[in-house]
Structure 1
Amino acid sequence: MAVEKLVNYETNSRLPLTLSKSEKRLYMSFISFAFIALFIGGLMGLLQVLVRSGHFTLPAGIDYYQVLTVHGVILGLVLTTYFIVGFQYALMGKTVGISDTQRRVAWLGFWIMTIGTVMAAITVLYGKASVLYTFYAPLKAHPAFYIGLALVIVGSWIACFVNWRQLYIWKKKHPNEKSPLLAFMVVINMAMWFIATLGVAGSVLFQFIPWSLGYAATIDVLLSRTLFWYFGHPLVYFWLLPAYMAWYAIIPKIIGGKIFSDSLARLSFVLFLFFSIPVGLHHQLTEPGLDTTWKFIQVVLTFMVVIPSLMTAFSMFATFEITGRKKGYGGLFGWLKHLPWKDVRFLAPFIGMLAFIPGGAGGLINASYQLNTVVHNTIWVTGHFHLTVATTVVLTFFGITYWLVPHLTGRKLTKSMNRLGIIQTIFWTLGMTIMSGAMHIQGLFGGPRRSAYSEYNGTEQVAEWGAYQMAQAIGGSILFIAIIIMLYIFIKLAFFAPKGEEEFPIAEEEIDAEPTPMWLERWKLWIAITIALILFAYTIPIADVIQNAPPGSAPFAWPIGNN
């Protein structure tokens, strides 16, 4: 295992570890697979908006809902999971190190995830699993689709255990010392992911797979949806928290500053762990069979996530202002004008931050008991996801790519690649603004989601929606151009850019910062509180769903059921 070099630990100043070639291959394998997924999922997204425009018909043998399923699964699950796992492995390797055994286990997780992804993809491409990203019952897919999803989850669990083991070994070697901030964040995110995926894994293993294999004649639809959304909402934060890692601990280094507050960053992640999981019922506000009291309780818990989000916004803009003023830029907004706008490593994540302002506001509407009824199951929700995940998260991931890939491949981010990255960022921002904006507007007028027939409201055609659908097609086309540019940049940085050393930017704390309290490292306490909140929020609702299930339905059908 790599040995960490420490310099003046009292001021939290440390030299990052050097990544070995074998480590870099591991991390690049995950990142590369993510970019393959970006191309496939992006192409499917382009086909969708063209079909929805009413001016394009899919070739014979290709169904719209096949395309929709590939787009959602590949981008929402495959792209994000592979990039996050690869990025987090790199963060852990750089801050706490990885042993040869841990690296071999990490490869095992990669191949299990990949086998599962290929299995699920084949069933969708053959038209055997057009069940959309949420795979709601009673839509039924081929058993291989569900088995593939289960393997992807198991592979990601292996990454969880490797990351936890990495920090555990580091803590054993550094007793009574606070863990590196990025390692702390990774472990929080993987703890949240593991706890959240227990719900969807249980549903897939004990409901969908037996049902699809014929072991059970029926499936408890409401229970399956409840278990999915137990997982589905923290999935959003599994996407988002790696972006927050970059915002808190990497962007300050890029702009020449320091971390505003190590304690604030850790506390915000602990709060995300608490309030991201026990809130899934706010996605089911319109569903009967769930008690309204528990829906309301989970809505309240959902709004608690606003607190760490505002903490993050405060911390980031405090970092920007302090850095600017230390460089001598005065005035009310002088510091803002002199941020490194021509550095794509900063520009792309910063636009992602700005996009999260309307994206977060839309999330408050989605989670509100009354306002949700206006937008539920409309294309507004699709527009919301494209603001939060496809803009905030993905643009930050692109910003990470510009320095992470050349660092892993031993190459340099050249000025020409930086300029092309800025162009790509502008294309992405423009395309997403047009497409997502049109989705939000059409959604307010009742435009449906998950449908190729988006020009219909009930049985009547709504001619006025044609402009919004055409805007979506234009925005989606611009986005696909941005994807092609990004893939070119990725290939260039991975294989053809000039050889050199690209910085792995990890910011330090301010020298005179207040010491981080050690109680923030009480992992058992944080996990216990999280479990307690989940049991409080879900025990009675799930018990009610099982107890009041329709006659003949089997809540769980493994190994026996209603045959």
Structure 2
Amino acid sequence: MMTVEMKLSRKEAKLSMAHMWVAFISLLIGGLMGLLQTLVRTGKVTLPFGIDYYQVLTVHGVILALVLTTFFIIGFQTTLMSKTVGMTDRQRKLGWLAFWVMTIGTIITAIMILLGEASVLYTFYAPLAAHPLFYIGLTLVIVGTWIVCFVNFHQLYKWKKQHPGEKSPLLAFMVVINMLIWFVATLGVAATVLLQFIPWSMGIVDDIDILLSRTLFWYFGHPLVYFWLLPAYMAWYAIIPKILGGKLFSDGLARLSFILFLLFSIPVGFHHQLLEPGIDPLWKYIQVVLTFAVVIPSLLTAFSMFAVFESTGRAKGFNSLFGWFKALPWKDVRFLAPMVGMIAFIPGGAGGLINASNQLNQVVHNTIWVTGHFHITVATTVMLTFFGISYWLIPVLTGRKLDAKTNRLGIIQTIVWTVGMIFMSGSMHIAGLLGAPRRSSFSEYGGTEQATEWIGYQFAQAIGGTILFIGILLMIYTFLYMTFFAPKGEEEFPIAEEEEEASPTPAIFENWKLWIGVMAVLILFAYTIPLIDIIENAPPGSSPFKWPIGRG
């Protein structure tokens, strides 16, 4: 049985709330940039004051995909760790240090983008070059997250020392898995930024090895998706059952699914590079196979969640085949928003399989289909779950109640967001199948004959973008209301207990040396020989960190 005895202190709540402020400010800025993009792509709107389309595109990607998600996740996970294993004064001070390092890095990066010195998109592919401060800012953000990683690791380590032989709290276990994935994955992007991009952008070296830089980025880039997704899984597994009035289906199954994500989320970056020369097809094939292995923990999660839904409904007396579906609390936004996110993950996951398939990827590669996929997974599944978390988490952090007004606003916001994303993501998928390119403004293809097939879908994206921005404004208003105006009181921190008759969790699931070792072996297997090949087969006369293409 899972019991939670820790009380979240006001000092810990203040730290988590600081992260939430950055996340929601990022939502507003990034959402505005997204709206401007969709309007520009209709060909009827031009950006004022000489603002470049790719400048707006970079702000949108960096602020939403990196800043918003990272700050929200760390803020959320900070509360989970404080609630389940506790936080010392020293750990909290390190948490504040990490917050300010990340925030300073974010500000530096944002300034460079807004000054037009870093219109390189959030993937910052070479040979696109940004001001050195852009890369330095990104490095500070990563360093700040590393501090958080080691705080979380130490929190669980200290708890285990104080509770020898006991099973660690499930949510703390999940947080440590997610931060392990993040730490190991960011080693790749840190290496390419520190050893390639910063020396290159400062003129210390003249050239950059483009294939190596892209490979190191995607070593990080795909695990980033699971860093976004796993906090949503935490809520699905361990919080939603409590909101339903039920219990966790299986502690062991939940831990197994997270272990599988740890093993298979990192050695799969080549499936983003299927059309790039210089990587042996055999290694692309191996990493595609490993990519498809990640389907297993997702299916385990789907099974677990619907088992919770059905068992909870039947316990409430709904015993017909699908009668339990009626027992779900559809009028509770804490459930509704994440549930819509779960449903969206069905087509989102199917799209992910298409992207990861060598043959099917040929059809959609570098089209706006890929952008639509990100919007249905990250911007729908993940964000709606994050919104659902916010409706109870913000009141917990601010000492207020989730009242009827907050719940009503949340339901409206969820519906608005869902409708907007149907227009946005749906039209992106269709336009992508027709060949519409991603990352491109209307001015680059508006005069082509093929563009006439896409223009209707571009307007649909603009409609979706407008609706989504209304949803963002609703969310910002609700956030401010929950923070300052909702009735004062004590809101429940919903953490589910395990079913009494559940099978015991195997002790091997907490053998950290084993699972980290297996992860390291898989990464070395998937990347060692390909990286050696990339370095050895670089153009004559170039170093491992140079490729004579220049900085154009």
Determine the structure 2 residue equivalent to 1:534: 523
Is 1:25 aligned to 2:14, yes or no? yes
**Relative to structure 1, is the Cα distance of residues 238 and 454 closer, same or farther in structure 2, using a 3 angstrom cutoff?**
farther
Structure 1: 4+ residue segments shifted above 4 A: none
Determine the structure 1 residue equivalent to 2:228: 239
2:42/2:442 contact within 8 Å kept: no
- Spell out the pairing of 1:70-149 with structure 2 (5 A cutoff): 70-149=59-138
Is 1:202 aligned to 2:191, yes or no? yes
Is 1:257 aligned to 2:246, yes or no? yes
1:239/1:393 contact within 8 Å kept: yes
Is 1:248 aligned to 2:223, yes or no? no
**Relative to structure 1, is the Cα distance of residues 436 and 13 closer, same or farther in structure 2, using a 3 angstrom cutoff?**
closer
User: How far apart are 1:517 and its partner, in Å?
Assistant: 1.3
CA distance in structure 1 between the partners assigned to 2:417 and 2:208 by the alignment: 41
CA distance in structure 2 between the partners assigned to 1:16 and 1:75 by the alignment: 35
- Spell out the pairing of 1:266-415 with structure 2 (5 A cutoff): 266-415=255-404
Determine the structure 1 residue equivalent to 2:419: 430
- Spell out the pairing of 1:475-494 with structure 2 (5 A cutoff): 475-494=464-483
> What residue identity is the alignment partner of 1:322?
S
> What residue identity is the alignment partner of 2:437?
P
Determine the structure 2 residue equivalent to 1:58: 47
CA distance in structure 2 between the partners assigned to 1:436 and 1:229 by the alignment: 23
1:421 is aligned, of 398, 403, 410, to: 410
1:216/1:554 contact within 8 Å kept: no
Deviations 1:280-318 (A, max 9, x none): 000000000110000000000000000000000000000
2:316/2:327 contact within 8 Å kept: no
CA distance in structure 2 between the partners assigned to 1:13 and 1:196 by the alignment: 31
Determine the structure 2 residue equivalent to 1:473: 462
Unpaired segments ≥5 residues, structure 2: none
1:448/1:454 contact within 8 Å kept: no
1:508 is aligned, of 470, 484, 497, to: 497
> What residue identity is the alignment partner of 1:45?
G
Deviations 1:372-411 (A, max 9, x none): 0100000000000000000000000000000000001000
> What residue identity is the alignment partner of 1:308?
P
User: How far apart are 1:555 and its partner, in Å?
Assistant: 2.3
CA distance in structure 2 between the partners assigned to 1:373 and 1:454 by the alignment: 25
- Aligned-residue CA RMSD in angstroms? 1.3
TM-score normalized by structure 2?
A: 0.98
Deviations 1:191-229 (A, max 9, x none): 000000000000000000000000110000000000000
2:214 is aligned, of 201, 210, 225, to: 225
Counting aligned pairs with the same residue, the percent is 73
> What residue identity is the alignment partner of 2:305?
M
Determine the structure 2 residue equivalent to 1:3: none
SS in 2 for 1:295: helix
**Relative to structure 1, is the Cα distance of residues 454 and 396 closer, same or farther in structure 2, using a 3 angstrom cutoff?**
farther
CA distance in structure 1 between the partners assigned to 2:545 and 2:451 by the alignment: 43
2:508 is aligned, of 516, 519, 529, to: 519
CA distance in structure 2 between the partners assigned to 1:436 and 1:309 by the alignment: 21
Determine the structure 1 residue equivalent to 2:148: 159
**Relative to structure 1, is the Cα distance of residues 58 and 454 closer, same or farther in structure 2, using a 3 angstrom cutoff?**
closer
2:400/2:490 contact within 8 Å kept: yes
User: How far apart are 1:459 and its partner, in Å?
Assistant: 4.9
Is 1:499 aligned to 2:488, yes or no? yes
1:455/1:465 contact within 8 Å kept: no
> What residue identity is the alignment partner of 1:349?
P
> What residue identity is the alignment partner of 1:119?
I
User: How far apart are 1:458 and its partner, in Å?
Assistant: 9.7
SS in 2 for 1:14: coil
CA distance in structure 2 between the partners assigned to 1:81 and 1:283 by the alignment: 22
CA distance in structure 1 between the partners assigned to 2:112 and 2:202 by the alignment: 14
1:455/1:461 contact within 8 Å kept: no
CA distance in structure 1 between the partners assigned to 2:185 and 2:542 by the alignment: 25
> What residue identity is the alignment partner of 2:302?
A
Number of corresponding residues: 548
1:185 is aligned, of 174, 179, 197, to: 174
CA distance in structure 2 between the partners assigned to 1:139 and 1:538 by the alignment: 25
1:547 is aligned, of 525, 531, 536, to: 536
2:222/2:266 contact within 8 Å kept: yes
SS in 2 for 1:264: helix
2:4/2:83 contact within 8 Å kept: no
Deviating more after overlay: 26-35 vs 509-518: 509-518
User: How far apart are 1:13 and its partner, in Å?
Assistant: 4.1
Unpaired segments ≥5 residues, structure 1: 1-11
CA distance in structure 1 between the partners assigned to 2:377 and 2:108 by the alignment: 28
CA distance in structure 1 between the partners assigned to 2:138 and 2:542 by the alignment: 23
1:41/1:72 contact within 8 Å kept: yes
SS in 2 for 1:28: helix
2:243/2:335 contact within 8 Å kept: yes
CA distance in structure 1 between the partners assigned to 2:220 and 2:450 by the alignment: 36
> What residue identity is the alignment partner of 1:198?
L
1:409/1:494 contact within 8 Å kept: yes
User: How far apart are 1:453 and its partner, in Å?
Assistant: 2.6
SS in 2 for 1:371: helix
SS in 2 for 1:15: coil
> What residue identity is the alignment partner of 2:381?
T
CA distance in structure 2 between the partners assigned to 1:337 and 1:532 by the alignment: 47
Deviating more after overlay: 507-516 vs 71-80: 507-516
> What residue identity is the alignment partner of 1:478?
I
CA distance in structure 2 between the partners assigned to 1:38 and 1:229 by the alignment: 25
User: How far apart are 1:462 and its partner, in Å?
Assistant: 2.3
1:455/1:462 contact within 8 Å kept: no
CA distance in structure 1 between the partners assigned to 2:428 and 2:502 by the alignment: 45
User: How far apart are 1:455 and its partner, in Å?
Assistant: 7.7
**Relative to structure 1, is the Cα distance of residues 367 and 458 closer, same or farther in structure 2, using a 3 angstrom cutoff?**
farther
